[in-house]
Amino acid sequence: MATIQIAGKNIEVDEDGYLVNLEDWSEEVANSLAASEQVEMSPNHWEVVNFLREYYQEYKIAPMIRILTKEIGKKLGKDKGNTKYLYELYPGGPAKQACKIAGLPKPTGCV
Amino acid sequence: MATPGKKMAPRDNGAPDYKKYLHPLMVKNYGKWKYYEKVKPGVLKHVAHSGDVLYTVRAGSPRTLSVDTIRKVCDLADKHCQGFLRFTTRCNIEFQVTSAEAVEPLIKDINEILGFPVGGTGNSISNIIHTQGWMHCNLPGTDAAGSVKALMDTLYEDFINERLPQRVRISASCCQINCGGQSDIAINLQHHHPPKINHANMQICELPKTVAICPVAAIRPATVDGKDSLMVVDEKCMYCGACHGQCPSMEIRDPQTDSLAIWVGGKTASTRGGPSFMKLATFGLPNNPPRWPEVGDAVKKILDAYKESAKPYERIGEWIDRIGWKRFFEMTGFKFTKYHIDTYRYARTTYNMSTQVRL
Amino acid sequence: MGKKWKIKTSTPKLDELEKGPWPSFIKELKTLAERKPAVEHLLGQMEQSYETNTNYWTGTVLNLDGYGGGVIARYSDLAKKFPEVAQFHTIRVIEPSAFVYSTKALRELCDVSENHSAGILQLHGMTGDILMLGSTNESMHTAGEALMEKGWDIGGSGGALRTLACCIGPARCEMACYDTLEVTKRITDTYISQLHRPDLPYKFKFKLSGCANDCANSMQRSDMPIIGTWRDNIQVDHAEVAAFIAEHGVDFVVDNVITRCPTKCITLKNKKIEIDDKNCVHCMHCINVMHKALAPGKDKGVTILLGGKRTLKIGDTMGSVLVPFMKMETEEDNEKLIDLIARIWEFWGENGMEHERVGEFIERVGLGTFLEGVGIEPDPQMVKHPRTNSYIKFEEYTKPLMAGEASKSPLVTNKEVEGKETA
Ligand code: HEM
Ligand code: SF4
Ligand code: SF4
Ligand code: SF4
Ligand code: SF4
């Protein structure tokens, strides 16, 4: 397990860079995780991350992709409520990259 | 050159254009084949309405191939088959030639250069389909590839001959997800106790998803050492391992107790009585690498009984339907136990609800 | 090409699998181990598995940019001992319909495999895909790039549409009742984004067989088996029938053809075969036995089934009939199929739970509800027989729905409240 330094704090991450302790998440941490993924966080990126976090806090799971695309469609416009747009924002994929930046658990199942 | 993180636009190329990969006679006679004949085990002759004739030579392969071997396969196809070839659903390689004289030299090269046997057609045992095992999956309790290799050595003569009552298809799977599929005979791994939970890891998982995946609702949230985790109600758990696929910290495997079971009578074709699921024949075979001899012995018992009493065109399941399970257990010597009686959904529909018994 | 590497790892257990007449996958790996350090370490790790009956791979999630499927990522638990397989990922490459290749195409795959991964190809995965084993976090990107440059594509892992698979069909089989190869390619290309950027509740597999012999193993290994059939009469060549009877004898024909027909619709009269085609269920048996004399009819099409899957959770399921017959020849026929798929995915996508295969979904909501949801009329061909229990939930209890009356919107236990799902 590796450690990264963000704003003077030591933060544990796993071999793929996901947070080990989900409480460690902060906006700074998100920005830094995004930078390591070469993702530049725009307001639209934040919409996705914020929704993922809200959903996770309520249900303790990441939303199904359809729920995410619908929500983004509502917030950012219908043309953006699809996986194509999500992959434009997060080329590494909403389940993997966006969840990582949002400080959600790594999707561990084989799907 | 792409590096991780570099934004590479997805290409969406789609499926390769199969039309470029068809043998010229396949292109010419596409959809216009008239009939086929069996020339000899492993060799088929397809005749088109145009009068064209295409000979197919089927070779067994280990599925996992080095590029070196694939290049040799290509050399053979270049030399004999105008640069085209195909694979079957069961991982055999099919080489095609256009004249009867070309068949034997091709077979000679397949045997000598590749070291692959020719067969797998008609009433034979074709290549066994199997799953990843210890070479690449994250869930296996055994190595399907290894037991399959050992078993094909045992059944070799039935691959290169067509001497069975009907075709026999075999599969092997390395966990209870059973990626191997329905077959006349299947060798599958069996777990024997509930998952052992690694509570230290559970906080990094989406716990509700693991709870939801259990088909018998045996998983419950729990607090262990002051932290969120899960517990399993042992009496409910049926050791299926679904939770293990979702969460690696629900360890279902156990090198000490995992064992192998053999299932019979599966069929996917809708011919005659239609498709059928396979049923438990015997269980508790040791997971015994590198050659799993007990598996070979059990499969041979089934095949010996089948050869002895099946009628032509009867698949294993149809043969058992006719002679009855009582006779099947007598002939194979497997013991029928209470564990052969279904306990899951629809169990009762599998009981004999008639007075039709063989006495 | 890597330099010559001396094999240091001893593998006494695996060596046992080099013996015997059947071609050995261990030999294949050993050939590569001479120049691929990763394969030597793979053998080392496997040898340890063979000693301890323990698996040493941990799954993780990695993808190429823009793809949500296509890489099956594995880290070794024995990375300290076998660092060369610390990262050892498989790329799922979409195979050509019916697994046909030119040697040029296969050599291309070999070159990518040699240069960007371990030089191991599995032809093919049970799903039907080409499996290219042994990339690292770095080299999976260069491998993917190299593949795509040459026109190959990847995809189909995780909760995605899987690579399709089909039988040899019209390319070399006289039994084929539709163009399995073309329909396979069309569905793949039309729905390629579901292989790459899926938004389905769970995986979805198509397998296509040209006739009921089902050489693609579709019935039980795919969510949607598409199987060729015909709706006119079996074509009978009476001269060939006579030749067959002359060669095999009347008894053989009675024992192996007449009495084996599931609906007993063939009779033998004066050494001539008569088929009651209205009762033929297109099982292919008689045609298989007398393949020179009999052939599928001329008015061909497909039967579409839905809901097959393997064991996990609810146990094995077969596909069951969704569309008893559909033509599959013209552009329009193809579009109908594409549209049907879209309707199924829409309904299942909206109402299915995460990790719920379409067969499980149908089992939960009932086939009747499902049919309404996708807009298909119930048909007696969809069941073995009508229900035997009287516990019927008529939708309007004051006014039981009469057969043929217009139906209401589907009664699905819908978990969805304004875009939010309860866990
Ligand atoms: C839980 C994690 C899972 C993993 C890691 C996994 C892995 C795999 C792998 C590696 C293969 C290819 C096997 C080969 O060709 O060597 C495969 C195929 C297959 N898997 Fe899974 N699988 C998983 C879940 C499932 C589930 C949940 C089901 C069914 C309910 C399933 C059913 C199948 C079937 C039927 C095949 C054969 C595919 C075909 O015939 O098209 N798998 N899986
Ligand atoms: S049967 Fe189980 S262990 Fe084997 S490949 Fe399939 S999921 Fe993996
Ligand atoms: S092994 Fe199967 S039955 Fe047991 S807890 Fe896990 S999912 Fe439930
Ligand atoms: S499924 Fe039918 S059409 Fe396809 S290859 Fe098999 S016999 Fe031929
Ligand atoms: S195809 Fe099957 S059902 Fe039809 S006549 Fe032949 S044996 Fe009977």
Per-residue confidence (pLDDT) for residue C418, from 0 to 100: 40
Give, for ligand 4, the residue of C97, C100, C166, C168 to mutate: max count of ligand atoms closer than 8 Å to Cβ. Answer: C168
Residue whose Cα lies nearest atom 6 of ligand 4: it is: C215
Q: For residue C142, what are the contacts with CB-CB under 8 A and spacing of at least 6?
A: B1, B2, C116
Reply yes or no on whether the pLDDT at A11 is more than 80. yes
Question: Quick one: fold of A2-101?
Answer: Arc Repressor Mutant, subunit A (1.10.10)
Please say whether the beta carbons of C305 and C317 come within 8 A: no
Per-residue confidence (pLDDT) for residue C119, from 0 to 100: 98
Return residues 218-247 of B near C (CB < 8 Å): 240, 242, 245-246
pLDDT-above-90 percentage for chain B: 91
Q: What integer is the mean pLDDT of C347-366?
A: 94
B286 and B336 fall within a common domain: yes
pLDDT-above-70 percentage for chain C: 92
- Give the domain range for residue B161: 129-191+255-350
Per-residue confidence (pLDDT) for residue C403, from 0 to 100: 54
Give the lowest-confidence range in A50-54, B203-207, C149-153, C177-181.
B203-207
Environment class of B347 (CB within 10 Å of its CB; exposed 0-12, middle 13-18, buried 19+): exposed
Question: Among B217, B251, B285, where does a domain finish?
Answer: B251
Q: Report yes or no: A38 at the B interface, CB cutoff 8 Å.
A: yes
Please give the ipTM for the structure prediction. 0.95
Contact list in A for residue C59 (CB cut-off 8 A) is 108, 110
Q: What integer is the mean pLDDT of B27-54?
A: 97
B36 and B163 fall within a common domain: no
Is residue B138 assigned to a domain? yes
Residues B67, C32: C-beta atoms closer than 8 Å: yes
Reply yes or no on whether the pLDDT at C423 is more than 50. no
Per-residue confidence (pLDDT) for residue C7, from 0 to 100: 67
Is residue B9 assigned to a domain? no
Is residue B158 assigned to a domain? yes
- Distance, in Å, from the CA atom of C31 to the CA atom of B11, rounded to the nearest integer, reads 34
Can the peptide bond before residue C124 be classed as cis, meaning omega within 30 degrees of 0? Answer: yes
Measured between CA atoms, how close is A65 to chain C, in angstroms?
5
CA atoms within 13 A on the CB side of C347: 24
Reply yes or no on whether the pLDDT at A2 is more than 60. yes
Domain ranges of chain A: 2-101
User: Ligand 4 center to residue C228 CA distance, Å?
Assistant: 9
Is residue B17 assigned to a domain? no
Q: Give the residue among A82, A44, A50 at the shortest CA–CA distance from C197.
A: A82
Per-residue confidence (pLDDT) for residue C415, from 0 to 100: 40
Per-residue confidence (pLDDT) for residue C61, from 0 to 100: 86
Per-residue confidence (pLDDT) for residue C311, from 0 to 100: 81
CATH number, domain at B95? 3.30.70.3340
Per-residue confidence (pLDDT) for residue B143, from 0 to 100: 97
For residue C170, the ligand 4 atom closest to its alpha carbon is: 3
B242 and B216 fall within a common domain: yes
Q: For residue A43, what are the contacts with CB-CB under 8 A and spacing of at least 6?
A: none
Is residue B182 assigned to a domain? yes
DSSP letter for each residue of C180-210: HHHHHHHHHHHTHHHHHS--SSS-B-EEEES
The count of structural domains within chain B is 3
Give the lowest-confidence range in B77-86, B268-277, C386-395.
C386-395
**Average pLDDT value for chain C:** 91
Domains and CATH numbers, chain C: 165-230+299-412 (3.30.413.10), 235-295 (3.30.70.20)
pLDDT-above-90 percentage for chain C: 82
Q: What integer is the mean pLDDT of B103-129?
A: 98
B232 and B212 fall within a common domain: yes
Helices (H) and strands (E) in chain B, counts: 10, 15
At A106, the pLDDT band (50, 70, 90 cuts) reads confident
B141 and B289 fall within a common domain: yes
Helix (H) / strand (E) containing C72: strand C71-76
Q: What integer is the mean pLDDT of C40-45?
A: 97
Is residue B356 assigned to a domain? no
